[in-house]
Each structure stands twice: as C-alpha cells, then as structure tokens.
Amino acid sequence: MYKILVISLIAVIAAFSQTLKMHLTFDEGEGEEYTEKISGLTVQVNNAEWTDDAKFGKALRFNGTDSFVEVLESKDHPVLGKMECPVTIMAWCKPSDFYIENNRTHPGEILSATSTSRGPGIRITLTYGMMSISCGDGSEFKFLAGKTIKPAMTKWSHVAIVKKENNEIQIYVNGSLDGTSEEPWNQQYLQANQNVKIGVYGKNGGAFKGEIDDVRIYEGVMTAEQIKKAMEPVQTEAKKPAAKKK
C-alpha cells in the first residue's frame, strides 16, 4: 500500500513540476545571432526588427513577409524534438495585420516546429482571429484545439499551449482555457533536430505581422494559475528595486 502511495505521489509531483527549457525574452535589443541563456542554443534573427514596443523590456517586430526567428536544435539539447514528456509553450503576441492564404484570413504563425507545410511538426497559429494548434504527421496538418477567444488586434495577448501526460492538449488565451483537443498529440509530430521558429512555419509560410515577446517552453504541465503567474514580468537582478538607505 505504501509503495502504491509513493508511486502515486511521484506521478503527481512529476505531472505538476516544470523545467524551463527555453526562454526568448528578446531583451538583447540588437544583433542577428545570439545564444539563448537557458538552453545554450543558437538563436538567429532574420529580418525582424528589435523594438521597445514590447510587453516586457524589448520585443521583435515581424513584417508579415520574410521575418522570423529560428532556434537551432542540437542532438545534445533538443527543445521540442523527441520530447515525449508533457510540455507547456507560451508567448505574448500583438498582431497588427492579417494575411490571406487559400482565400482565408489569418494573422499568422506564433511558433512552429516543422520544415514543411505537411509536417511532421506542430504549428501554433492565430487563425480566423482565434488561437489554434495544429499538428502534422508528414501527410497533412490536423487542427487540434482552439475555439472562441479572439486575441485583440494591435493589443498584447498571452497564449499558452499545454500538452498533458495523457497527450491531451489545452489552449489558453490571456490565462483562460479556450479549448481542449478532441484528438491526442501524436509523438510522430515532433522529430529530432527540428528547429523551433517564431513568426513562420517552414520557409516563410504563414508569416506573422506584429510584435512577439517572451516566448517560453517548459517541460511539464502548467496549471491555469501557474500560467497566469508566468504572464507576469520576470524579476531579474537588474530590475530589482534598490535597497533603501538607513
């Protein structure tokens, strides 16, 4: 009995513990290539503009045509590739315009991990004015979650995707649950050495127009309360208030 209780407790702790795997604060403010501090991976900034019009600190402005950020995966430290454990992905976005694809209107891609339009991989997208996540197995992309909450145009909105232990997917907008996938996450969606891109999928597919800030990937499931807490600015040594003089 005690063994069962211990195993159950370990499972609960594992399900609700999180490890920050990648954090793109975009506070560097300049440059076309830099090293991401959490993972040590190389981040390449392609035609995106550094801006003070940010949710926190600085952000990147994407032009809706050919600007994107790419995080180069490595065998030693994959961010999403081969990640079989639960995962939480989140970002702040401020769309400024729409693009038209196949006669349908979309604001664009927030984050993707796919090299082709059919996968294998994942896409987190503002589609029909709503957040969605779709996954591809190499033959097609399938819509998995996203319902009714529409992030506002020209205003900052927080989006979060949670892949749970049972492969169920939840999507949050501004801290509120917006949908749960009817179809489970298939591990074939993520492959080894699959680069994470911000602002596009593939080469220039679904190019986002607007600002993106504070992109994070956690290993582990985050609750609604934890997501709301993560929406707050990160307190760093440089931003701490000075001690009062006696």
Tokens for 49, please give them. 């503009």
Residues 89-140 pLDDT 10s: 999 999 887 655 555 555 688 888 876 666 677 778 876 566 777 777 666 6
- At residue 148, the pLDDT reads 61
Structure tokens at 136: 């591809």
Query: Which regions of 77-145 does DSSP assign to beta strands (E)?
Result: 87-95, 99-101, 104-106, 108-114, 121-127, 130-136, 141-145
pLDDT tens-digit profile of 63-88? 988 999 999 876 566 666 555 678 89
More confident residue, 117 or 40: 40
Provide the whole-model pTM: 0.81
Which pLDDT score is estimated for 244? 40
What pLDDT sits at residue 23?
92
CATH code at 18-233: 2.60.120.200
| More confident position, 19 or 103 | 19
Average pLDDT over residues 7-32: 70
The strand pairing partners of 61, in sequence order, are 49, 211
**pLDDT, tens only, 209-228:** 899 999 998 989 999 999 99
Cα distance between residue 91 and residue 75, in whole Å: 25
- The number of angstroms, rounded, from the C-alpha of 134 to the middle of its chain's C-alpha atoms is 13
Selected residue with higher pLDDT from 103 and 42: 42
Mean pLDDT of 32-45: 88
Instruction: Return the pLDDT at 123.
Output: 79
How far is 207 from 230, CA to CA, in rounded Å?
26
Sequence ranges of the domains in the chain: 18-233
